[in-house]
Structure 1
Amino acid sequence: MLLLIAPAPLLQIEPGRWALEEKFASGMKLHCEAWPGKVRVLLRRPVGFQAGDSLPDTEGWFELALMEPGQPPEPAHLRGASVICASADMHELYGLPALIERPAQKLVYAVEYPLETQLQILRLDRQMGVLRKLRSAVWHLGQERRRRQAFRVADGVQANGWPAAESYGGLNANLLMYLDGRMTADLFATPEDMATRAERLRSGAPLRIVHSGRLEPLKGAQDLLPFARALRALGVDFTLDIYGDGSLAEGVRQGLADPGLQGRVRLHRPVPFRSGLVPILRREADLFLSCHRQSDPSCSYIEAMGCGLPVGGYDNRMWRGLLGESGAGLLVPMGRYAALAAGIAGWDRDREDLIAKASAALTYAQAHGFEQEFGLRMQQLRALKAG
């Protein structure tokens, strides 16, 4: 049996009835198809869940179990599992090495957010005061010691992206770095998409820039309009379409009244990934703008690249590593939106370079599609079972 312990939420659809997020449920079906045996999923019991409430119908794909929020799993939760894959972003799981039955059970941690990213998120949180941030930072430091100790004795670690891989690479000999994303083989930009975009760029048409994601400080949403003003001041003819929502959305919306931005910058509600965002990126965009102020393993980079788009972004550890391997964009110092505008203005003058980087983006993303990256993760787990 494969046991997955994840932070995925249960969603209440009506009193007494709960459902899984669609993305998580779809991912679980893939796990079940790739694992040669039974699969159990252990989630936190949500607030308000009562004994007798109806759990989601998993259609026999996997067994669903619940544990108390904030509490470590009980031995009964682990019973029967040969491989346990646990989220290292759940601090209550750092005691698992003491609970598993050696050598019959193997333990792998999956990590997305290293300490650096957690502290960046904390620093950019506008809802917390200074003292609360300080207390939270001290707590994170304490949990980091527990996390690193758990990684050292685990049978493997799966690190999502360069920030996590670089932070923990020396702790476990069986560390696998992967790139999380939703680009399946059927979603990548086609040769026709690429040719049409290249022809349009060579015609001198205005640059079509797209940004998507949560409009929050940690995602750099506060830099979107200043970037647009800086690009306009450089004389670049462009449009910027922003897809997303969040705490900064109203400020962005009000900023669109700027006469210099009217008709150039447009704010849209979030759209479905497969049926909405992917067609837009493939057919209505020339490049992707990322202003992420944190080193999170955002899938936005690799997904935009899979749609054939070069990326302009800040010098965070994720984009630095991805750009270094792919050559599919440009990078400027953190928070320097004027430098980002200058770099994209350079692309406006040298569109052949923009077209070449679009090709590099697609080629790299196709080598790291969902099927390949998911396959590597499952291969690591199956190898532990066989061992």
Structure 2
Amino acid sequence: MASLLVISSAPATLVDEKPFLDIKFVEGMRYYNDLWDGPVSCILKLRHDTFPFGQLYEPDQLPFNVTFLPPNKSIGTEELSGQDIILCGGDNHEHLHMADICRNAGKKLAFIIEYIPKTRRQIIFLDPSRSLPRKLYSLLWTMKQERRRRRAFRMADGLQANGYPAFSVYSPMNANTMMYLDNRVGKNLLATENEMAVRQQRLLSGAPLRLVHSGRLEHLKGSQDLIPIARRLESKGVDFTLDIFGTGSLEEEIRKSIAVHGLQDRVRLNGTVDFESGLVPFARQHADVYLSCHRQSDPSCTYIESMGCGLAVIGYANRMWSALCQESDAGWVGPMGNTNALADAVYDAAKDRQRLAASCHAAWSFAARHSFENEFRSRIENMQSLVRIA
């Protein structure tokens, strides 16, 4: 039986000598443990404080071994002893030296990659806290790390690309590259056939259009576009509601704009809710369209997760949503940063209820094929194939 080591950037700390870990990370590791035919372990760097969405675990609660390292310690050959294949994140520059370490130690290595260079540049220049000199310095540093990243990917045994943009950019560098669509929607969270039928009947009856948006309310996420889009829809006579979930630096500004423009009956700020018990049931039963103002081309899991709830998606033409929409036929794409055009796409959806209902069903079917279980199983099978390669 081959042993699997996961090197993760997930946060971790110790509270009274007990591990305090990210809940989503632990759930993912449980799947590795269940599907991998052999021992599973992970390496995590320790933080000093606890963090949101974490939980304290008893050591015997975890079905995998955990090695904690100090924040400033680099992973070396010693930590790889007894391991057959190593999986680590290629977005983190601190992991890129693993290509040399694993080759010298005779270990199989697979990287995970999500962000493309364009996304990294966008994040730098959309950060309002950085001065222009700092942005230029960050850009040069990022370019240097990208050269290291591409060298490491060429040396690795395999590459797992999360999303269409990452696969397009990095697959030429490694013949064993697979694409997957990361998301948290397992088959138990998918909209039911009855919920889909109820939504379709409601849409075809001409009922008001129900929009939903979720995520951090930040400039980087395009949240500043939500109210201009809502105002445009109202001016065009669209009967709609918009429910916004999440918090962030723009929350108060959005709240004031709702009041100033008299949108209280249409736009609601709902704060942060639990994903499984709050957001998913709401989307499945009280929404028709996910409104995305995301400009970056990162593989936001929100697309697939919303589609799994049976929602059509209307969003900007970043590289991820453009490719996903073309592949799934699950909604509409609007010109990047053009709030009027995106609002007009919502207007078109509100007028063409047959197409909207068909897009909701296409979204749901596509997400079901790419459920959490299916995507995770494909990734495990990919790593198992790498181990079998002599």
TM (norm. structure 2) is 0.94
Match of 1:282 in 2: 284
Counterpart check, 1:32 vs 2:33? yes
Task: Pick the aligned partner of 1:243 from 238, 242, 245.
Answer: 245
The answer to whether the 8 A contact 2:4-2:83 is kept is yes
Which residue in the other structure is 1:220 paired with? 222
Q: How much has 1:69 moved relative to structure 2?
A: 2.6
CA contact (8 A) 1:108 1:154 kept: yes
- Deviation for aligned residue 1:147: 0.2
Matched, 1:156 2:152: no
How much has 1:206 moved relative to structure 2?
1.0
Instruction: Report the CA distance shift for 1:352/1:150 in structure 2 as closer, same or farther (over 3 A).
Output: same
Residue 9 of structure 1 aligns with an amino acid whose one-letter code is: P
1:56 to partner: Cα distance: 5.6
1:307 equivalent in alignment to 2:297 = no
CA displacement, residues 234-282 of structure 1 (integer Å, 9 cap, x when unaligned): 1101000000011111111111212431210000111111111111111
Amino acid in structure 2 at the alignment position of 1:162 = Y
User: Quick one: distance in 1 between partners of 2:161 and 2:74?
Assistant: 22
Deviations, residues 319-365 of structure 1 (Å, cap 9, x unaligned): 01100100110001111111011111111111111001111111111
Change in 2 beyond 3 A, CA 1:16/1:251: farther
**For the residues of structure 2 that align with 1:39 and 1:318, how far apart are their CA atoms?**
32
Say which is worse superposed, 157-166 or 95-104, in terms of deviation: 95-104
**Matched AA of 1:47:** H
Between the aligned partners of 1:16 and 1:191, the Cα distance in structure 2 is: 47
1:233 to 232, 235, 255: 235
Gaps of 5+ in 1: none
Distance across 2 between alignment mates of 1:259 and 1:48: 42
2:53 equivalent in structure 1: none
Provide the residue aligned with 1:336 in structure 2: 338
Letter in 2 for 1:21: D
Amino acid at match of 2:139: A
User: How far 1:48 sits from its partner (Å)?
Assistant: 6.4
SS at 1:187's partner residue? coil
CA apart distance, 1:75: 1.4
CA RMSD across the alignment: 1.7
Partner of 1:75: 77
* Equivalent of residue 86 in structure 2, options 84, 87, 92: 84
When structure 1 is superposed on structure 2, of 102-111 and 297-306 the one drifting more is 102-111
Partner residue of 1:21?
A: 22
Distance change (3 Å), C-alpha of 1:112 and 1:47: same
Aligned to 1:371: 373
The range that moved more, 171-180 or 243-252, is 243-252
CA distance in 2, matches of 1:57, 1:226: 50
Q: Name the stretch that deviates more: 283-292 or 95-104.
A: 95-104
1:25 and 1:130 map into 2 onto residues whose CA distance is 39
Q: For the structure 1 residues 5 and 124, does the alpha-carbon distance in structure 2 shift closer, same or farther, using more than 3 Å as the test?
A: same
Alpha-carbon distance in 2 for matches of 1:210, 1:126: 26
Aligned to 2:121: 119
The one-letter code matched in structure 2 to 1:242 is I
- Residue in structure 1 matched with residue 4 of structure 2 by the alignment: 2
Residue of structure 2 equivalent to 1:61: 63
The number of residue pairs the alignment matches comes to 382
**1:266-277 maps to which residues of 2 (within 5 A)?**
266-277=268-279
Spell out the pairing of 1:339-350 with structure 2 (5 A cutoff).
339-350=341-352
**Which string of whole-angstrom CA distances, capped at 9 and with x for unpartnered residues, describes residues 222-242 of structure 1?**
101111011111110100000
1:70 and 1:92 in contact (8 A); partners too = no
Structure 1 CA distance for aligned equivalents of residues 259 and 22 of structure 2: 37
Aligned-pair CA distance for 1:152? 0.4
| Other-structure match for 2:197 | 195
Describe the superposition over 1:176-227 as per-residue Cα deviations: whole angstroms up to 9, x where unpaired. Answer: 1100001111111111111111111222221110001111112110101111
1:382 is displaced (CA, Å) by 1.1
Percent identity between matched residues is 46
Contact 1:2 1:82 in 2 (8 A): yes
Taking a change above 3 Å as real, the CA distance of residues 184 and 171 of structure 1, as seen in their structure-2 partners, is same
TM-score normalised to the size of structure 1?
0.95
**1:220/1:122 Cα in 2 relative to 1: closer, same or farther (>3 Å)?**
same
The structural deviation recorded for 1:104 is: 4.2
Give the match's secondary structure for 2:206.
Answer: coil
Is structure 2 residue 168 aligned with structure 1 residue 166?
yes
Amino acid at match of 2:96: Y
| 1:55 Cα offset (Å) | 8.1
Shift of 1:47: 3.5
Equivalent in the alignment of 2:148: 146
Partner of 1:106: 108
**CA pair 56-123 structure 1, distance change in 2 beyond 3 A:** farther
Q: Distance in 1 between matches of 2:105 and 2:60?
A: 30
**Structure 1 stretch 282-291 or stretch 39-48: which is displaced more?**
39-48
